[in-house]
Amino acid sequence: MKLITFTNKGIYCPQGKFYIDPWRPVDLAVITHGHADHARWGMKKYLCHHFTKPILKKRIAEDIECQTLQYGEVLNINGVKLSLHPAGHIIGSAQIRLEYKGYVSVISGDYKVQDDGLSTPFELVKCNEFVTESTFGLPIYNWLEVDDLNKKMQSWVLRNKENQKTSVFIGYSLGKAQRIMKAVEGLGKIHVHYSIGKLNQAFEEVGIVLLEYEIPDFRENIKHVAGEIVIVPPALLDSNVIKKIPDAATAICSGWMQVRGARRWRSADAGFAMSDHADWKGLLQAIKATEAEIVHVTHGQTEVFSKYLNEIGIKSDVVETLYGDDDEEEKEKEIIDN
């Protein structure tokens, strides 16, 4: 049985007549999460998790038609039972479970099995067919435990305070920025770029309580942030905004910081391997636990990862999609005041 097919518009369920994370306009788009490479403009109707709706409205348009579901709630669409299950990627991220005549397909979107203490933790969903990302599908990518990573970030902030430096974190407005805020709780006043503040408001609209923060006007004099904590999106790295921050010490928060030399390449003072994607062990843990008969590998280290899965006895193939590195997509979507 073919419950999903891969088309030039996106992942399609022919029985249900809907698409999952399509990259071209369609009538009904089921959205896994709010990052720009998975949630695009132009759909007639959107279906997503309750937490994702305000994100889509702020990023796409306020007047979009958008239906929501809670995790585990079942919706019957043309005989296909559809439900959303936590992906652990960012707030509101969901795996899409489809069931038709006893056959189950799960489209995971982006996910991580590590509990970051902010997103709803990843939920294992057994299935016949599993669609997985492979952004960090190489053995070199192994994340620290969340508490250990947070302690390293906290130590960096405290060192900066001793040296009269302003701690400037570079992190994506949706997902990373909120994790950074949580990691540095209690270490000082937090200032965020307005693109981050805009998405923080989306969380607050659905009752998610974040730490107190301020949104300075980076077009004005910002000397008052000296010695405190500032969080900005990656598009501002090496920009005039960063240069205006007094005595700035910069740290990039990204899974790519796992690779030696990445920090130097991005001209930052520090790098923390913080990722909202599964690492090598996390990918394998999730895939094996699904007990899927076939695994489709999308964006990332597709060829290498799919080959490895086949070598260990898990039937796998590579699927071409237009999903990609959230980082690059976010750069294009941010509205920045330089």
The average confidence (pLDDT) of the chain is 92
What does the pLDDT read at residue 265?
57
Residue 184, both tokens: 């540095």
Alpha helices of 77-212 — where are they, by DSSP H? 146-162, 176-183, 194-205
pTM of the model: 0.93
Cα 87 to chain centroid distance, Å, stands at 10
For 329, phi then psi, to 5°, come to -65, -40
CB 232: neighbour CB atoms within 10 A?
A: 27
Q: Which residues pair with 231 in a beta bridge?
A: 169, 192
Starting at the edge strand found earlier in the chain, the sheet holding 5-6 runs 5-6, 11-13, 18-20, 28-30, 45-49, 66-69
- In the chain, the percentage of residues whose pLDDT exceeds 90 is 84
Instruction: List, for residues 235-285, the tens digit of each pLDDT value.
Output: 888 788 888 999 999 999 999 998 865 655 567 899 999 999 999 999 999
**80-86 and 74-77 beta bridge pairing:** antiparallel
CA distances from 227 to 25, 159, 230 (A): 47, 11, 9
What does the pLDDT read at residue 266?
63
Instruction: List, for residues 14-28, the tens digit of each pLDDT value.
Output: 999 999 999 999 999
Residues 6+ positions from 270 with CB-CB distance below 8 Å: 156, 249, 250, 251, 252, 263
Rounded CA gap, 77 and 239, in Å?
Answer: 48
Rounded CA gap, 276 and 279, in Å?
Answer: 9
pLDDT at position 179 over 60:
yes
For 85, phi then psi, to 5°, come to -135, 145
Q: What domains does the chain contain, in order, with CATH numbers? A: 5-140+277-328 (3.60.15.10), 146-272 (3.40.50.10890)
How much is the average pLDDT of 207-216? 91
Query: Any idea what DSSP says for residue 245?
Result: S
pLDDT at position 97 over 50:
yes
Alpha helices of the chain — where are they, by DSSP H? 53-59, 146-162, 176-183, 194-205, 240-244, 262-265, 280-290, 302-311, 326-333
pLDDT band at 330 (very low <50, low <70, confident <90, very high): very low
More confident residue, 334 or 117: 117
How much is the average pLDDT of 151-177? 97
pLDDT at position 50 over 60:
yes
In the chain, count of helices (H) and strands (E)?
A: 9, 18
pLDDT at position 333 over 80:
no
Q: Which residues pair with 229 in a beta bridge?
A: 167, 190
Contact 257, 263 (CB under 8 A): yes
pLDDT band at 329 (very low <50, low <70, confident <90, very high): very low
For 307, phi then psi, to 5°, come to -60, -45
